[in-house]
Amino acid sequence: MAYRHKYKSIYHMFLDKVEKYGDRTFLRHKAGGKWVPVTWKELETKTEAAARALIKLGVNDSEAVGILSESRVEWIFTDLGIISAGSVTTAAYPTSPPDDVAYVLDHAEVPMVFAENKKQLDKVLARLDRLPKIRNIIVYDMEGVAPHEKVMGFDDFLKMGEEASEDIVAERRQRLDALAPEHLLTYIYTSGTTGPPKGAMLTHGNALYVSDVAGEMNIVNDDDESLSFLPLAHALERMVFYMSLNVGGVVNFAESVYSLAENLPEVRPTTLIGVPRVYEKIYEKVQAKIKDEPPLKKKIFAWALDVGREHFELECRKKPVPAGLALKKKLADILVFEKIRAVAGGRIRWVGSGGAPMSEQVQSFFCAAGMPMIQAYGLTETSAPAVVIPPDEIRIGRVGKLMPHCDVEIADDGEIMIKGPNVFKGYLKNPDATAAAFRDGWFLSGDTGEFDAEGYLKVTGRKKDLLITAGGKNITPQKLEHLFTSIPLVSQAVITGDGKKYLTALFTVNSEELETFADEHKLRSEASRPTARHPLVVETIRKAVEEKNKTIPHYETIKDFRIIDHEFTVDSGELTPTLKVKKKIVFEKYKDLIEEMYGHN
């Protein structure tokens, strides 16, 4: 039976919740050192003003409007305003350089873009000659912004909407009434790890379906408080917001990703969504702290982890917990885990990781510590989730089970194929890529995976990343990359060796671990040799690699490696805005180092 939508659009869902929750707080943001609430009714007033101003400035229904900003309440005012004017939201990542921003805005043919501040505005102005369709640029924070004929402050923009004529009010009402589930909601641009980003066209129906499933499965509820810090240009963060919109939970906007340590204990969230690198950093800091503790504390920590893992495994499999284990878990909480949970505010019901594979070691740590980690799986093209894993039924290393009305199958070559109400409409202005993305109605994910006996999906890798050695062995690099980044000094790893007799790796070094290591061994940088490539650092990593090699099949072992003396970053062009490694760029940039490891063959 086909899925039937309860609402005509995301905005109609929002209006239903305004009726239900009214003066209850929905959003919070920090201003002047204090957390400022925004009620459901206040949000409705802002979004109505935004929609009317858009129409007054000549934005047509079905036309795209751009946003270039970190996550903040004004982003939401704008998004819901665009939606209720019958238009389509598109967004560029705020960490993107001017050329990437211009590509997205030009490709989506936006007549208007909202910029967070002078920094983001300057990116647009720097490429304005490539953006002839842009008539208006609305800026949230006008500090330091010089007058410009196309630039307007957000407050003035909203005031224009508040003072709109009856004709504008009537037109906006007509546009809203005309919305239906099949209408376009947003263009979300893929991260572009292998080439220019593609604009995935998501509909209101896609987002409504995902929001409904999350509510039905109690993944989010109206008692939840989240802390939003990922960019809303990201499919995962956007869909999680719509989930909260559906159930009535409170969404708090972090001041920035760098303010998490301060904002977490202030907000005390019950749910948290991040990408693997965020959680890996937390895990690495805990491990670094434990390394410096006395032997007794190290033993207590290791014991607590064992207890936590055993307790978690029984709970998630709905098996009885022996009284002795329950008592040990209480003691482990008092001695170790309560301190760890307190850093996040002490109320976490679950944390979610998406956008890239998560190390089982890191996931297991969070689950043992009493912060169950959902490793979500999905793609921009599937409106984020393709399968769902309930917080009380987590399996380490698995990403979920089938959602109602959504089918997932594994092709003969191992590729994960998806069909359902969450699957996107296609790529904007790219019929060839759209056609290539489907086979007999199934969306081809590009990922490989398998279902276990319980019906849980395990993702085994990316088809395009699969390495086939000269000996004919198929290698999934992600598994090995996770293994070698568990070496304390290693921050990022890229495995190479396609078509070669053996595997090699490029490593970046964890800057905090390196600093501690350098202090302990009294190492100093030299002009010709950064600390990261000091012989003692290289030898320490080499010994660790040898130990890791003992745990894997011979054909998967790393025979050589080279150290990059800086971590991969978005600014350097080696990471996407969602912190995925752009392997094509890395292979090209460091081809000389790679050739060295193969004797220039």
Count of all residues that appear for the chain in the document: 601
pLDDT at 277: 81
Tell me if 378 is assigned to some domain.
no
pLDDT at 192: 60
pLDDT at 288: 83
pLDDT at 579: 76
pLDDT at 224: 95
Lowest-confidence segment of 128-137, 495-504, 569-578 by average pLDDT: 569-578
- Using the predicted structure, report yes or no on whether residue 1 has a pLDDT greater than 60: no
- List the structure tokens of 226: 């989240």
Q: At which residue do the structure tokens 């093209």 appear?
A: 381
Q: What is the mean pLDDT of residues 164-185?
A: 97
Instruction: Tell me the three state secondary structure of residue 215.
Output: helix
pLDDT band at 328; cut points 50, 70, 90? very high
pLDDT at 527: 53
User: What total number of domains does the chain contain?
Assistant: 2
Q: How far is CA 249 from CA 21, 31, 269, 303, 473, in A?
A: 10, 21, 11, 36, 49
Tell me if 147 is assigned to some domain.
yes
The 10s digit of each residue's pLDDT in 52-83 is: 999 999 999 999 999 999 999 999 999 999 99
pLDDT band at 500; cut points 50, 70, 90? confident
pLDDT at 526: 62
Return contacts of 546-549, CB within 8 angstroms, 24+ apart. Answer: 548/483, 548/484, 548/486, 548/487
Tell me if 228 is assigned to some domain.
no
Pairing status of strand 88-91 against strand 34-39: unpaired
Last residue of a domain, one of 144, 159, 179: 179
Last residue of a domain, one of 113, 145, 179: 179
pLDDT at 474: 78
Q: What is the mean pLDDT of residues 109-128?
A: 98
pLDDT band at 515; cut points 50, 70, 90? confident
Q: At which residue do the structure tokens 């030009």 appear?
A: 106
CATH no. for residue 567? Answer: 3.30.300.30
Q: What is the mean pLDDT of residues 219-227?
A: 93
Q: Ramachandran region of residue 79, left (φ > 0), alpha (ψ -120 to 50) or beta?
A: alpha
Q: How many angstroms separate the CA atoms of 179 and 356, rounded? A: 33
pLDDT at 531: 85
Q: What is the mean pLDDT of the chain?
A: 92
Tell me if 337 is assigned to some domain.
no
Cα four-point dihedral sign 561, 562, 567, 570: negative
- List the structure tokens of 471: 């000996």
Contacts for 44 with CB less than 8 Å, ≥ 6 apart = 14, 15, 18
Tell me if 535 is assigned to some domain.
yes
Give the whole-number percent of the chain exceeding pLDDT 90: 74
Question: How large is the greatest C-alpha to C-alpha distance in the chain, in angstroms?
Answer: 75
The pTM (predicted TM-score) of the whole model is 0.86
Q: Which of 105, 86, 108 has its CA nearest to residue 96?
A: 105
- Using the predicted structure, report yes or no on whether residue 296 has a pLDDT greater than 70: yes
pLDDT at 257: 84
Tell me if 64 is assigned to some domain.
yes
Q: Which of 378, 404, 376 has its CA nearest to residue 390?
A: 376
Q: What is the mean pLDDT of residues 478-491?
A: 89
pLDDT at 193: 58
Q: How many angstroms separate the CA atoms of 304 and 532, rounded? A: 34
> Which structural domain range is residue 503 located in?
466-597
- Using the predicted structure, report yes or no on whether residue 123 has a pLDDT greater than 60: yes
- List the structure tokens of 264: 């977490």
The 10s digit of each residue's pLDDT in 553-581 is: 888 999 999 999 888 888 888 888 777 88
Q: Which of 384, 349, 389 has its CA nearest to residue 366?
A: 349
pLDDT band at 300; cut points 50, 70, 90? very high
Q: What is the mean pLDDT of residues 402-407?
A: 93
The 10s digit of each residue's pLDDT in 356-385 is: 788 899 999 999 999 999 988 999 999 999
Q: What is the mean pLDDT of residues 525-530?
A: 61
Last residue of a domain, one of 159, 179, 199: 179
pLDDT band at 195; cut points 50, 70, 90? low
pLDDT band at 287; cut points 50, 70, 90? confident
Tell me if 576 is assigned to some domain.
yes
Q: What angle do CA 510, 512, 516 make, to 5 degrees?
A: 115
Q: Which of 92, 88, 80 has its CA nearest to residue 63?
A: 88
Q: How many angstroms separate the CA atoms of 175 and 62, rounded? A: 10
- List the structure tokens of 584: 């094509």
pLDDT at 129: 95
CATH no. for residue 151? Answer: 3.40.50.980
Buried b (16+ CB within 10 A) or exposed e, 540-562: bbeebbeebbeeeeeebbbebbb
Q: Which of 477, 503, 506 has its CA nearest to residue 491?
A: 506
pLDDT at 276: 86
- Using the predicted structure, report yes or no on whether residue 292 has a pLDDT greater than 90: no
- List the structure tokens of 422: 């969450």
Tell me if 7 is assigned to some domain.
no
Instruction: Tell me the three state secondary structure of residue 279.
Output: helix
- List the structure tokens of 168: 């504008």
pLDDT at 528: 54
Q: Which of 385, 358, 395, 392 has its CA nearest to residue 478?
A: 358
Q: What is the DSSP string of 108-157?
A: TT-SEEEESSHHHHHHHHHTGGG-TT--EEEES--TTPPP-TTEEEHHHH
